[in-house]
Amino acid sequence: MSYLATALRGSAVACVLAVPAAGHAQDFINVLTGGTSGVYYPLGVGLSNIYAENIDGVRTQVQSTKASVENLNLLQDGRGELAFALGDSVAAAWAGDAEAGFEAPLDQLRGIAGIYPNYIQIVASAESGATTLADLAGMAVSVGAPASGTELNARAILGAAGMSYDDLGMTEYLPFAESVELMKNRQIDATLQSAGLGVASIRDLSTSVDIQVVSIPAEIAETLGAPYQAATIPAGTYDGQDEDVPTIAISNYLVTHAGVSDDVAYEMTRLLFENIETLTASHQAAADIVLESALDGMPIPLHPGAERFYREQGMID
């Protein structure tokens, strides 16, 4: 929460605002997600339905995108009201990291909540024999859509392991579903996907092809530091995965922009945490969304509307 102090400026004003029927100041919420075979999209659909049913006068829409990097740039331009994004992408956007896909600092971004962790899931065909990062040398690997949050993760992880795309036999830059189709057709050996556990694309793959989940040792997380952390993909997450596999994880965030009204941002935050059970029906990753950790590691200032909600919960003085 290194930027929380910044986010609290003006909190005196935020605290005294009344709560009229949200939606009168703003009647449209476009939810920016990711590919339809990932986790962002079904959760975005779930949130969109919750908002449409519970915020007076609001119309909602769900937009499938290339995920984190595109979502954050769209928010900066006011072309969406809520977006899913990976923590490292959000930090890079705030800093204006051109190499990560942000030509200038995205100063309009505002935080709503930290949600569930993305697990880096590298899945190889069993016949490839790959079980470790080093085994991927010389193989054909899909690393995610160009400049997506997943692809940024791929660069970071390989770099921490002393590798680069040059070490791979072939690098494909494809979204999850397309990567899986290439694996089914034996055109690539492995796919790296940054997503919640049980992502539909890998579930689909594991029912069609014998797979091996590639291990990522805890030392990689230690080398990269925050927001990366050591994690485990539990046995049985996918067909044919009989053992726990070590990997690394990174938190996802829901992000909005400064132009969204305080009342709508408040309602988006409140309804998220009041409807976790409903949202979990959209995808099991929502079960990992916990109010107590919503502010952990928040890389950007909170939106004043979200801040008001957390004050009511006693999470901000």
pLDDT at position 15 is 31
DSSP state at residue 125: E
pLDDT at position 13 is 30
Query: By residue range, what is the domain housing residue 302?
Result: 4-116+252-312
Q: Is the pLDDT of residue 201 over 60?
A: yes
Structural domains of the chain, count: 2
69-113 tens-digit pLDDT: 999 999 999 999 999 999 999 999 999 999 899 999 999 999 999
Helix 68-76 vs helix 149-160: crossing angle, to nearest 10: 130
Report how far residue 205's alpha carbon sits from residue 225's, in angstroms, rounded to the nearest whole number. 31
pLDDT at position 227 is 84
> 226, 250, 274 — which closes off a domain?
250
pLDDT at position 24 is 41
The chain-wide mean pLDDT, for the chain, equals 91
> 250, 267, 297 — which closes off a domain?
250
Same domain, 287 and 239: no
pLDDT at position 147 is 76
pLDDT at position 226 is 79
Q: Mean pLDDT, to the nearest integer, of 29-45? A: 94
Cβ pair 58, 264 in contact under 8 A: yes
> 223, 250, 277 — which closes off a domain?
250
Rounded to two decimals, what is the model's pTM? 0.80
Same domain, 144 and 265: no
Reading the block at residue 228, the tokens are 């990366």
The verdict on residue 56 lying in a domain is yes
Q: Mean pLDDT, to the nearest integer, of 142-169? A: 93
Same domain, 133 and 106: no
Please give the residue that has the higher pLDDT: either 49 or 37.
49
pLDDT at position 148 is 84
pLDDT at position 283 is 93
CATH number of the structural domain spanning residue 163: 3.40.190.10
Give the pLDDT band (50/70/90) at residue 27.
Answer: confident
Q: Mean pLDDT, to the nearest integer, of 170-185? A: 96
From 285, 314, 258, select the one nearest 112 (Cα to Cα).
258
Residue 267 sits at φ, ψ, to 5 deg, of -65, -40
pLDDT at position 256 is 98
